[in-house]
Structure 1
């Protein structure tokens, strides 16, 4: 559905002698003489349009008449409306009402939103230019839109927001310049080049591809969507620039009904769908009467139904992936071709230019050079981070220039773009505080030293090349392989060895596809997501599974991408020691490209005690000496069993103790109040050994239950 705003200025024909002769006559005489030419009955015009609304593909209604200016709203179900087509339709309708074609000048013709169109129809009713009932809105396809807007006004909540982008591109160079200005990722630049390709058909047929945008914030995603839509519209790939942004869905029958109607109204326009928002009900505990499994199926069905005429731009906010999201995107890729686009980043110079661009967009004065220098030090920044800096700059100027009494007030100051995972402690500090791992800490020191030496060589005009930093971690479960890999990404970002410090974790299920051609596409997507950071492939030996050829295809593709993106992505493989040896020997190219092989040893009892103390401290729990003695005895027995779990065993032991404490305190809560001190203190009785399931024992149902604590302990 396409909606337009039209404004007309009614005027006389200057070439008419009769009109010229009557110019000096009183106005009421002029209107009487030429009433049928210049003063049509717009109420009758609306009645005629209403009568034909069911069968007409285009409907036009007058909603305001003020002196000589008349405002109209136009609704087209599937046809792109032009000024000439709108004029012909209005003239034909006026002719059927017995009015000769009036003389008028078209002052304004532009696309508008569904909300503005509905407001205009309500205004027409208020001005007594339109008298309709509830069936009228259904006849013109506005029934669900009306229900949604009225529901949103009552509850101050909305399933969908809509807007028309203001950015416009005259040619390809303008589009690419704008993408650079908004710190666009190379995937967006590449897609814009495809959109402007000379061999493309320039009229709308249907959508050959749809998009999935990966961004850290909704504002950053919106900038990418606006640029994308502007380029597609300029090349005839879209009939409408209107963007309907779906961000909420709870799976209820009322939401399903409204969403279906809004998607119908989005035909020939753009539907941006925020995946975390529409799948939020599927990620939370089920609500009475809502089948969470039906939420993804509903959207898959509706998107498949409208994909030919509606451009779908899926939006993924944040870095974390979940199983529901992965399955949803995978199933959707069976239905339509999806191009992945990512939020970009820029250096400090590009970020300062971006901030001034935003100041122009927000209609605020440009920022001082000193302020920009203070808040944008050397480094790289995403648009999301730049928007946070923009807010801080505005606040700084507000305090300094308008409310100077608050200029020197010490407020909480957050540090942007520092990849921390434990409060304000840097990744380097976190790694140094971890128990054991001396070999890993020494390796990180060597990498940093080599990078600094490379910088010195560049100053001395000596030739040099970047060494490969791909790694392999081997060790039993619970040896902190994943944690260390994540911290290494943050440390390398701090030292500016990598640009983003992004950490992407994946396994066989994320890389190996079910059908031919999917595997390479999945792997390339993961490398794109990890650009400027670390791609961590856990249990990498599972790729060497001989059950089908896709595993070897995955290994070969990974080797190729490791070489192509050696300066942009660090790959870390992880797995059990014996199985990783077989994996690394499957491909000689893979073996030669891994520069560092780190072995993570099992923790000894004393190190496990240190880990337990650290975990308890993070949770605000207190351990007395008696607890530590008892746990030391538990750990001495645990380390005698192969694959006992290391750090995971410690976490499970502490979790079980916390559960026993909760049971103990809640039973006594009726007699004694639970204080902060009681909640923080554990007792020796709370800690009991957790049985370890040995590999050679195979219980009938695949897991073992600890009778003393009712905790399921994984094998």
Structure 2
């Protein structure tokens, strides 16, 4: 069995360590993304070397190769970088980008948002092509605002955005770190900056998604201001390999942006999340039930549309969270009915399940 040993001296997590890569064949026995993880490690510590061709695919490609072929594969790690073929140009990245686009297109509704995102992606693609053609391009910053009511799929789209940016090569890891006020604010003076920096270090290489970011609007104790000031500085310092998405209600987010003069200017992209229509909410409910392998009777399908009308009369916003709660309750009502009747068809949802579920949700 072929073994390879590399000794790398590097600083990781602010501690001087020796990174020892040994027994490459043992890595080959684990499924992807072992080679991706190793490639990222090499790229981070040795940016002057190109690692894209270390994505060698199935382990059998390596294990069945003769010594000469193995040496050729492994030599790609040490091959000097080529400006026309950067680290992020390999096929696995394209796969992630295509997956992200498919997930975006499969979302119900949000048509205007999808168009905004596709325009943004087209701009990124052209920048990449120009760079490859030898035109000087500033990588810039991609920090974003996601504005909209609760339950309009902001978190879902943030996960898709992380995958798309990874596929384009803007970030080095397919990673989304979700955070809220509690993730940034500490209990004691001076600790908030430390906590915020630690969160950013954890998100580095990917996307940091801060939900309900307006809750960071400064209050009397000054902890929120400390968090914002730290974020503003780190947004600039780490902009080469970090994207921060601030999410929340439109009005409250506008007030939040006024809390630091440099905050708004560091967030160049804004995406608006519209409320769902009744038709879209019905489609979302049906898809959720279908994904759980449930079948609606014809009467139940008609009752679902009727009951969602009733539900919306009491709802503040037409949002997906409301439908998720409804689907969970439908499932519980069906469980109770099946338990009482001892029916054998466990996959069928009837109108009674839907009516009782809406009765429960409306009372909450």
Q: CA deviation at 1:640?
A: 3.9
Matched residue, 2:129: 456
Cα 1:556–1:683, aligned 2, differ >3 Å: closer, same or farther?
A: same
SS in 2 for 1:599: strand
More displaced 10-residue stretch of structure 1: 440-449 or 483-492: 440-449
Tell me whether 1:429 sits opposite 2:102 in the alignment: yes
Residues 1:615 and 2:311 aligned together: no
1:507 equivalent to 2:180? Answer yes
Query: Cα gap change, 1:608/1:528 in structure 2, threshold over 3 Å: closer, same or farther?
Result: same
Among residues 229, 237, 254, which one is paired with 1:564 in the alignment?
A: 237
What is the aligned partner in structure 1 of residue 8 from structure 2? 179
Residue of structure 1 equivalent to 2:204: 531
Deviation, structure 1 residue 502: 1.1
Which structure has more relative contact order (CA 8 Å, sep 6+)? It is 2
The answer to whether the Cα contact below 8 Å between 1:532 and 1:569 also exists between their aligned partners in 2 is: yes
1:119-147 superposed Cα distances (whole Å, 9 cap, x missing partner)? xxxxxxxxxxxxxxxxxxxxxxxxxxxxx
CA positional deviation for 1:555: 0.6
1:165-204 mapped onto 2 (5 Å cutoff): 178-179=7-8, 187-188=12-13, 190-192=14-16
**For the structure 1 residues 366 and 617, does the alpha-carbon distance in structure 2 shift closer, same or farther, using more than 3 Å as the test?**
farther
1:490 and 1:191, CA in 2 relative to 1: closer, same or farther beyond 3 A?
same
**Counterpart position of 2:307:** 634
Please report how far the alpha carbon of residue 487 of structure 1 lies from its aligned counterpart in structure 2 after TM superposition: 0.6
Which residue is equivalent to 2:151? 478
CA distance in 2, matches of 1:489, 1:680: 35
Note if 1:488 corresponds to 2:161. Answer: yes
**Aligned partners of 1:602 and 1:456: how far apart in 2?**
36
Match of 1:655 among 320, 328, 349: 328
1:345 aligns with 2:174: no
Name the structure 2 match of 1:442: 115
Q: Is the 8 A contact 2:175 2:206 kept in 1?
A: yes
Mark the CA change 1:430 to 1:515 in structure 2 (over 3 Å): closer, same or farther: same
Task: After TM superposition, give the deviation of residue 419 of structure 1 in Å.
Answer: 5.8
| In 1: Cα distance, 2:87 partner to 2:135 partner | 24
Q: Is the 8 A contact 1:536 1:573 kept in 2?
A: yes
Shift of 1:667: 2.5
Deviation at 1:344, TM superposition (A): 5.6
Give the Cα separation in 1 of the matches to 2:102 and 2:308: 27
CA contact (8 A) 2:295 2:349 kept: yes
Aligned twin of 1:585: 258
Following the alignment from structure 2 to structure 1, what is the Cα–Cα distance between the partners of residues 230 and 136? 31
Q: With structure 2 as the length reference, what TM-score do the two structures score?
A: 0.76
- Pairwise mapping of residues 227-246 of structure 1 onto structure 2 (< 5 A)? none
**TM-superposed deviation, 1:481:** 0.6
SS at match of 2:122: helix
Distance in 1 separating the partners of 2:121 and 2:229? 30
Q: Alpha-carbon deviation of 1:628?
A: 2.6
- 8 Å Cα contact 2:93/2:169 also seen in 1: no
Q: 1:639 to 1:525 in 2, by over 3 A?
A: same
In structure 1, the residue matched to 2:69 is 368
1:467 lines up with 2:140 in the alignment? yes
Give the conservation status (yes or no) of the 8 Å contact 1:543–1:551.
yes
- Classify the secondary structure of the residue corresponding to 1:179: strand
How far 1:712 moved relative to its partner?
8.9
Separation (CA, whole Å) in 2 of partners of 1:370 and 1:561: 41
Distance 1:659 1:518, change over 3 A: same
Could you tell me whether the CA contact under 8 Å between 1:609 and 1:628 is conserved in 2?
A: no
- Provide the rounded CA distance (Å) in 1 between the counterparts of 2:226 and 2:317: 34
Report if the CA contact (8 A) 1:604-1:639 is conserved.
no
Residue 597 (structure 1) aligns with: 270
What does the per-residue CA deviation read over 1:544-583, in whole Å, with 9 as the maximum and x for residues that have no partner? 1414101011111111111111121111101122211211
Distance 1:458 1:659 in 2: 55
CA contact (8 A) 1:480 1:647 kept: yes
Aligned length: 323
How far does residue 448 in structure 1 lie from its aligned partner after superposition?
2.2
CA distance in 2, matches of 1:616, 1:452: 37
Q: Sort the Cα spacing of 1:475 and 1:519 in 2 relative to 1 into closer, same or farther, 3 A.
A: same
Do 1:545 and 1:551's aligned partners in 2 also have CA atoms closer than 8 Å? Answer: yes
- The CA deviation at 1:516 is 2.3
Residue 319 of structure 2 is aligned to residue 646 of structure 1: yes
Q: Residue 164 of structure 1 corresponds to which residue in structure 2?
A: none
CA positional deviation for 1:638: 3.1
Q: C-alpha distance in 2, partners of 1:529/1:428?
A: 26
1:682 maps onto 2:349 in alignment: yes
In structure 2, the residue corresponding to 1:582 is in which secondary structure?
helix
Contact 2:178 2:208 in 1 (8 A): yes
Which of these two proteins has the greater Rg computed from alpha carbons? 1
Query: CA 1:642–1:580 in structure 2 vs 1: closer, same or farther (change >3 Å)?
Result: farther
SS in structure 2 at match of 1:178:
strand
For residue 378 of structure 1, report the CA deviation from its aligned partner: 7.9
Aligned in 2, Cα 1:454/1:416: closer, same or farther, shift over 3 Å? closer
2:146 is paired with a residue of what secondary structure?
strand
For each residue in 1:578-620, what CA deviation from the matched residue of structure 2 results, as whole angstroms up to 9, or x when unmatched?
2112111111211111112222111111000111121112111
Gaps of 5+ in 1: 1-167, 169-176, 196-222, 228-342, 356-363, 381-414, 692-705
Separation of aligned partners in 2, 1:418 and 1:459: 20
8 Å CA contact 2:276, 2:318 repeated in 1: no
State the partner residue of 1:325.
Answer: none
Query: Quick check: 1:638–1:644 contact (8 Å CA) kept in 2?
Result: no
d(CA) in 2 for partners of 1:345 and 1:622? 47
Unaligned residue ranges in structure 2 (runs of 5+): 22-38, 44-48, 57-64, 78-84
Three-state SS of the structure 2 residue aligned to 1:435 is coil
Q: 1:367-386 counterparts in 2 under 5 A?
A: 368-369=69-70, 372=73
* Partner of residue 75, structure 1: none
- Are the structure 2 counterparts of residues 689 and 636 from structure 1 closer, same or farther at C-alpha, using a change threshold of 3 Å? farther
2:224 aligns with 551
